[in-house]
């Protein structure tokens, strides 16, 4: 009696199985891509700000709180950040033809030292080039942020800030970035993206 | 699904806790929000720099009346003077109810009136000297009530600091027991409110609140100061002579006596309006300054009247009152008074001190010399023999007695003197108490119980000096209202302050003062003319520039000018500035310029440019409006202050990590304005009602009270709590009403993202 052995190679995938694997991998890759895209959209989504009167436009992070009621053109704050609210502010100041950036730096330093607790200017390279090639001056500093509400118990937060000053068309533009010193480097990337979109 | 469940929990917390809308609600709360009132009450220390130390020179209570740090208090304890010589003002606050106040800020005087004894301070610096960004302040504050609506027996709550330094803020309840009237309150209710509450002297400057938690008055007493400038009621609290012992040899901080007088809040409105808008008025031609009398303050010619006329003159002179009388006015002449003079009225009934009708020591607000009255109304005077004694700086003046409960008098009476110029029919014309310069002035008065043949005397005075005495025999019958008596001078009556006294049988029956000033314009005086406004780059230009009544926005300075004629130096006149119908400057002072002249110049400025509004100037003499002019700046209306309202529900609470049950610090709680929902919110500050950030324990407090929602005016807020690393929480349709607990405490849990 002859015995016929019918053997199937279990390692051998069928055409259908093979393509099923390919499709799973492609779907997974597409999912990863979409997730990364969604993450980027969430992280880097922006809202346009245009002020035709002041001649300033920029893209600032979406869901940051914008305020145009103070003595600045606008100020955006990351209200969702726990602790000190990372802040970007753009202000414009009319100047005379004799005013130099050095004068502006002095005035800013004097003003901040009267307003901010434990204000300390940081030694830094003052030369700064904005993304559009405009030459500017930067001033780095730290201070202690204290909640203004006298009825709450708060611990001061060490804040690191930078003022970027540029004189253009007879006015000084002062761009300020403030962040908790612990997250300064991380948040500075947001500020850089903001600077890339800032036009004045 | 999980997120929806958490949202549902949050909605449930908010809706169950906040929404209590089952019944229609009243439009206004009628319970006292004591927590907010105590938080808004501050302790003020006037200090002097001695070397490196701060020497406390005076203390008082005060009340925050605006979110950005305006504080209402008494002037005597903060404006540098004889008693309180310090230069620096320290503001201490109760950060924890029940604990002593903690110094937090430094302040400067924004507005003050030392006679009225009210001042407004503005917080300007942190305690360490750093400047304060007032726009970032979100302090609890109170609203001012219309004090003219205060009622007898109305329940009031007095809030202030009862001790020097180490006592927590305290509240005392009582009722309004009476009203005191003075010439300074003509047309605006009473000059003082009286209360049954027992109020320590250091609570002077604090707040008296009605049942709507609105500030109805400021408890006020001024420490009596001896001639050498040392307060007679004081307490040594610091070792100022460095002998290691705090005793009577050290500087003595004035404490005052127990308070029974409360200055109505309507007196603070001009100061508050001026301070909140940053307005500053300068009189360029002649600086308006308070009198600086050097003589001893004196009271004399005390007499009583049952009523006063609109010019503040007595209707008649009385020596007794029938039983059940409610109103009584003590009139007197005064000399050498200054705004720093402290006066006091002590009343006895049948030789027993009567605190109800006495007036505790307070500052003088009536100028250097003239006629004044202290009137009491609102409650019946019990029968008895009353003795009234006035004190100036603690020194008693002659007293005067009056019997209440006597039988109705049938004695002859003269009353209700008015002055004018006679027309062709012999009828007096004019406004009654301010006459133009001319040859003749006539008085008309009412009489009753007279008999023909009775001798009576009319005596005319000019600036306190007798100028004419007329002795007559009565022949006009028993009663009537048409008897005239005149003073006539061929060369013309000099401008000045005149007085007429009418006597029967050597007893003063009626008296009244009037002013002669200005040229004759019909029967009316033309004292002030060409009141006008202009704008200019300098004071000199303002005089020559043309007058304007409409000005552009962002005006730096608004000038007002007027000419004047025949007004004698020393004549009391009133200058009042208003914006949008509310006074922000109101001063009555002696005229200290030439008798006639042109271009009396005033300059109105504001720290951040004049706000849009309709500005008016009024010029008065003897409460008679003589000139008024009006000008518009910008759109002619003040900008709306979104933060002016203090009534409503205070929202506060804790934000906790749902996993650890620990507070999360630095979380932002956003309450969105009622016009927007969460879906409409575009993260714009303009859409926000108010926001708060949690402290190190996760505690937050929305400083702006939530407005009550009513059936007529529903108010729905939305809320967002967003924190990186946690799931955000949102809610729409948040309402509070009269039944909502106040303050409203919430505990909110955030789940990790």
**B chain contacts of residue A154, beta-carbon cutoff 8 Å:** 665, 695-696
Contact B724 A117 (CB under 8 A): no
Give the closest-approach CA distance of B725 to chain A in angstroms. 9
Contact A77, A64 (CB under 8 A): yes
Contact B447, B413 (CB under 8 A): yes
Residue B453 has pLDDT above 70, yes or no: yes
pLDDT per position as a tens digit, A5-64:
555 556 677 888 889 999 999 999 999 999 888 877 766 789 999 999 888 899 999 999
Tokens read off for B667: 């979380």
pLDDT of residue B17: 46
pLDDT per position as a tens digit, B501-518:
999 988 899 999 999 999
Residue B22 has pLDDT above 50, yes or no: no
Split at pLDDT 50, 70, 90, the class of B21 is very low
Average pLDDT over residues B144-154: 92
Q: How far is CA B488 from CA A169, B494, B528, in A?
A: 76, 11, 25
Return mean pLDDT, chain B: 86
pLDDT of residue B293: 63
pLDDT per position as a tens digit, B719-739:
999 898 899 999 998 888 888
Instruction: Please report which helix (H) or strand (E) contains residue A66, including its range.
Output: strand A65-67
Give the closest-approach CA distance of A116 to chain B in angstroms. 7
Residue B273 has pLDDT above 70, yes or no: yes
ipTM exceeding 0.90?
A: no
Residue B434 has pLDDT above 80, yes or no: yes
Contact B695 A153 (CB under 8 A): yes
Contact A147 B668 (CB under 8 A): no
Contact B683 A85 (CB under 8 A): no
Residue B536 has pLDDT above 60, yes or no: yes
Higher-pLDDT residue of B25, B633: B633
- Asked which of B282-291, B298-307, B363-372 is least confident by mean pLDDT, the reply is B282-291
The percentage of chain B sitting over the pLDDT mark of 90, rounded to a whole number, equals 46
pLDDT of residue B292: 61
Residue B230 has pLDDT above 50, yes or no: yes
C-alpha R_g of chain A: 27
**Residue B386 three-state SS:** strand
Residue A181 has pLDDT above 90, yes or no: yes
pLDDT of residue B19: 39
pLDDT of residue B548: 92
Residue B290 has pLDDT above 60, yes or no: no
Q: In this complex, which of B685, B693, B703 lies closest to A69 when CB atoms are compared? A: B685
Residue A143 has pLDDT above 60, yes or no: yes
pLDDT of residue B452: 87
Contact B683 A67 (CB under 8 A): no
Tokens read off for B223: 């420490």
Give the closest-approach CA distance of A149 to chain B in angstroms. 7
Split at pLDDT 50, 70, 90, the class of A76 is very high
Residue B66 has pLDDT above 70, yes or no: yes
Contact B550, B596 (CB under 8 A): no
- Asked if the bond preceding B743 is cis, omega within 30° of 0, the reply is yes
Residue B14 has pLDDT above 60, yes or no: no
Q: In this complex, which of B136, B684, B725 lies closest to A148 when CB atoms are compared? A: B136
pLDDT of residue B29: 47
Residues shown for chain A: 200
Contact A38, A45 (CB under 8 A): no
**A chain contacts of residue B139, beta-carbon cutoff 8 Å:** 150
A86: closest chain B residue by CA? B666
Q: Is B205 left (phi over 0), alpha (psi -120 to 50) or beta?
A: left
Split at pLDDT 50, 70, 90, the class of B546 is very high
Contact A149 B135 (CB under 8 A): no
Contact B473, B455 (CB under 8 A): yes
Q: In this complex, which of A68, A115, A152 lies closest to B695 when CB atoms are compared? A: A152
Residue B122 has pLDDT above 90, yes or no: yes
CA B381 to mean position of chain CA atoms: 27
pLDDT per position as a tens digit, B593-609:
889 999 999 999 998 88
- Asked which of B276-285, B462-471, B635-644, B705-714 is least confident by mean pLDDT, the reply is B635-644
- Measuring CA to CA, which residue among B305, B312, B324 is closest to residue B402? B305
Interatomic CA distance for residues B730 and B679, integer angstroms: 10
Instruction: Please report which helix (H) or strand (E) contains residue A108, including its range.
Output: helix A101-115
Contact B685 A84 (CB under 8 A): no
pLDDT of residue B36: 87
Instruction: Say which DSSP state B144 is in.
Output: B
The percentage of chain B sitting over the pLDDT mark of 70, rounded to a whole number, equals 93
Backbone angles phi, psi at A97, to 5 degrees: -70, -20
pLDDT per position as a tens digit, A77-95:
999 998 899 999 999 988 8
Higher-pLDDT residue of A11, B309: B309
Residue B619 has pLDDT above 50, yes or no: yes
The percentage of chain A sitting over the pLDDT mark of 90, rounded to a whole number, equals 45
Q: How far is CA B323 from CA B308, B328, B378, in A?
A: 19, 12, 15
pLDDT of residue B146: 93
Give the closest-approach CA distance of A199 to chain B in angstroms. 21
Residue of A68, A79, A89, A156 to mutate, testing the B interface (most B Cβ within 10 Å of its Cβ): A79
Q: In this complex, which of A117, A149, A153 lies closest to B697 when CB atoms are compared? A: A153
Q: Where are any strands of DSSP class E within B611-667?
A: 613-621, 624-633, 649-657
Tokens read off for B746: 């919430």
Q: In this complex, which of A63, A84, A148 lies closest to B683 when CB atoms are compared? A: A63
Average pLDDT over residues B144-165: 90
Across the strands, what pairs with B601? B561
A82: closest chain B residue by CA? B666
Interatomic CA distance for residues B95 and B98, integer angstroms: 9
- Report the 10 Å Cβ neighbour count for B705: 24
- Measuring CA to CA, which residue among A24, A149, A168 is closest to residue A90? A168
CA contacts within 13 A on the Cβ side of B533: 20
Give the closest-approach CA distance of A69 to chain B in angstroms. 8
**B chain contacts of residue A62, beta-carbon cutoff 8 Å:** 683
Contact B685 A67 (CB under 8 A): yes
Split at pLDDT 50, 70, 90, the class of B174 is very high
Pairing mode of beta strands B528-534, B557-564: antiparallel
């Amino acid at each position: 009696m002859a015995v016929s052995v019918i053997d199937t190679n279990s390692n051998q995938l069928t055409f259908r199985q093979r393509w099923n694997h390919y499709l799973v991998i492609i779907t997974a890759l597409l999912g990863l891509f979409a997730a990364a895209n969604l993450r980027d959209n969430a992280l880097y989504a922006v809202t346009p700000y245009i002020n035709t009167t002041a001649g300033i436009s920029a893209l600032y992070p979406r869901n940051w709180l914008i305020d145009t009621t103070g003595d600045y053109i606008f100020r955006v704050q990351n209200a969702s950040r726990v602790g000190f609210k990372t802040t970007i502010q753009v202000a414009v100041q009319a100047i005379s033809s004799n005013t130099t950036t050095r004068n502006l730096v002095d005035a800013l330093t004097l003003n901040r030292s009267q307003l901010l607790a434990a204000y300390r200017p940081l030694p830094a390279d003052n030369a700064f080039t904005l993304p559009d090639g405009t030459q500017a001056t930067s001033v780095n500093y730290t201070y202690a942020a204290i909640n203004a509400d006298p009825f709450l118990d708060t611990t001061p937060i060490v804040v690191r800030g930078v003022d970027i000053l540029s004189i253009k068309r007879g006015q000084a533009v002062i761009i300020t970035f403030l962040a908790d010193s612990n997250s300064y480097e991380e948040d500075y990337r947001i500020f850089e993206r903001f600077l890339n979109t800032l036009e004045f | 699904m999980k997120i929806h469940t958490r949202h549902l929990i949050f909605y449930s917390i908010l809706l169950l806790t906040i929404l209590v809308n089952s019944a229609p609600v009243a439009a206004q709360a009628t319970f006292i929000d004591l927590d907010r009132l105590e938080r808004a009450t501050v302790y003020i220390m006037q200090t002097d720099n001695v070397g490196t130390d701060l020497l406390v020179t005076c203390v008082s209570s005060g009340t925050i009346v605006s979110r950005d740090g305006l504080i209402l208090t008494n002037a005597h304890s903060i404006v540098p003077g004889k008693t309180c010589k310090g230069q620096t003002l320290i503001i201490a606050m109760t950060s924890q109810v029940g604990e002593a106040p903690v110094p937090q800020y430094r302040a400067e005087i924004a507005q003050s009136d030392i006679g009225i004894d009210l001042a407004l301070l503005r917080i300007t610096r942190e305690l360490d000297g750093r400047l304060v960004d007032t726009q970032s302040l979100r302090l609890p504050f109170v609203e001012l009530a219309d004090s003219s609506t205060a009622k007898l027996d109305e329940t009031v709550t007095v809030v202030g600091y009862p001790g020097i330094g180490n006592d927590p803020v305290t509240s005392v309840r009582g009722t309004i027991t009476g009203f005191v009237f003075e010439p300074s309150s003509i047309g605006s209710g009473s000059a003082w409110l009286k209360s049954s509450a027992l109020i320590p002297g250091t609570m002077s400057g604090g707040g008296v609140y009605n049942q709507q938690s609105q500030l109805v008055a400021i408890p006020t007493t001024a420490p009596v100061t001896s001639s050498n400038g040392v307060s007679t009621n004081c307490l040594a609290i610091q070792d100022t002579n460095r002998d290691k012992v705090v005793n009577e040899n050290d500087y003595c901080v004035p404490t005052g006596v127990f308070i029974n007088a409360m200055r109505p809040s309507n007196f603070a409105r001009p100061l508050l309006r001026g301070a909140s808008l940053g307005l500053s008025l300068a009189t360029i031609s002649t600086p308006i300054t308070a009198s600086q009398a050097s003589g001893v303050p004196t009271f004399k010619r005390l007499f009583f009247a049952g009523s006063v006329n609109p010019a503040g003159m007595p209707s008649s002179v009385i020596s007794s009152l029938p039983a059940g009388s409610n109103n009584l006015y003590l009139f007197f002449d005064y000399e050498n008074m200054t705004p720093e003079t402290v006066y006091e009225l002590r009343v006895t009934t049948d030789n027993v001190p009567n605190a109800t009708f006495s007036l505790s020591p307070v500052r003088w607000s009536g100028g250097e010399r003239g006629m004044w009255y202290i009137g009491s109304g609102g409650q019946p005077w019990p029968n008895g023999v009353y003795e009234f004694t006035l004190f100036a700086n603690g020194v008693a003046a002659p007293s005067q007695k009056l019997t209440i409960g006597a039988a109705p008098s049938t004695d002859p009476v003269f009353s209700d003197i008015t002055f004018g110029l006679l027309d062709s029919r012999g009828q007096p014309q004019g406004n009654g108490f301010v006459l133009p310069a001319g040859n003749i002035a006539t008085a008309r008065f009412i009489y009753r119980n007279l008999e023909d043949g009775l001798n009576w005397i009319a005596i005319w005075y000019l600036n306190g000096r007798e100028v004419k005495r007329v002795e007559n025999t009565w022949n006009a019958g028993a009663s009537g209202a048409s008897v005239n008596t005149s003073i006539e001078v061929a060369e013309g009556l000099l401008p000045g302050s005149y007085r007429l006294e009418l006597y029967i049988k050597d007893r003063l029956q009626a008296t009244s003062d009037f002013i002669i000033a200005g040229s004759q314009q019909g029967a009316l005086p033309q004292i002030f003319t060409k009141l006008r406004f202009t704008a200019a780059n300098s004071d000199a230009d303002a005089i020559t520039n043309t007058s304007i009544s409409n000005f552009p926005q962002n005006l730096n300075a608004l000038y007002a000018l007027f000419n004047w004629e025949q007004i004698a130096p020393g004549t009391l006149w009133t200058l009042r500035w208003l914006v949008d119908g509310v006074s922000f400057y109101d001063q009555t002072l002696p005229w200290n310029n030439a008798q006639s002249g042109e271009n009396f110049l005033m300059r109105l400025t504001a720290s951040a440019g004049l706000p849009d509004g309709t500005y008016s100037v009024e010029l008065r003499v003897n409460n008679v409006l003589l000139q008024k002019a009006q000008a518009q700046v910008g759109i002619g209306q003040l900008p709306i202050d979104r933060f002016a309202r203090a009534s409503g529900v205070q929202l506060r609470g804790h934000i906790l990590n749902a996993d650890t049950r620990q507070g999360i610090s630095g979380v932002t709680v956003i309450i969105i304005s009622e016009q927007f929902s969460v879906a409409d919110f575009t993260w714009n500050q303009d859409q926000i009602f108010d926001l708060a950030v949690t402290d190190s324990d996760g505690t937050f407090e929305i400083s702006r009270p939530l407005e009550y929602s009513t059936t007529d005016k529903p108010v729905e807020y939305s809320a967002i709590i967003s924190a990186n690393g946690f799931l955000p929480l949102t809610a729409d349709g948040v309402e509070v009403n009269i039944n909502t607990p106040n303050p409203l405490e919430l505990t909110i849990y955030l789940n990790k993202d």
